Amino acid sequence: MHEGSRKAIVAALFANLGIALSKVVGAVITGSAGLAAEAVHSFADTGNQGLLMLGSKRSLRGRDDEHPFGHERERYFWAFVVALVLFSMGGLFAIYEGVSKLRHPHETSNISVALVILIVAILLESYSLRTAVKEVQHIKPS
């Protein structure tokens, strides 16, 4: 795995973890089903970054008797697993929370907490994006 790719994945992993934790705190404080679903989505994103790192690392293994062309394409398998996890885990939890809150509604409180979480998420995602763009510019041929 190229060092720039690793840095971008690690930055995204820590950004998503920070966002997930802030959303959990916000969901507990406000009782917001939307924040709870978003927290699960962010944890899924964090796990996905871990799977991408695993796939990238495993794809660097050389040729062997069973894989005469090497393991490079294994990264595509792990990207597929990431997509499955993201859509299934995040989607199913969102449906569960939505149905639960429709059946037993309650008023959301502390909207200011949600706004603080939004600002934290914007800052962390901006850091992740800046890191990825910077690393792509280092990799990109002149």
Calpha distance 139→142 (Å, rounded): 9
Domain that holds residue 132: 3-139
Name which of 78, 34, 26 is nearest 55 in CA terms. Answer: 78
Number of domains forming the structure of the chain:
1
pLDDT (tens digit, 0 to 9) for every residue of the chain, 142 residues total?
566 677 888 888 999 999 999 999 988 888 777 788 788 888 888 888 888 888 778 777 777 777 776 677 777 787 788 788 777 877 787 788 788 878 988 776 777 887 888 899 899 989 888 988 888 787 766 5
Alpha helices in 62-110, H assignment, sequence order: 74-85, 91-103
Its pTM stands at 0.69
Calpha distance 45→52 (Å, rounded): 10
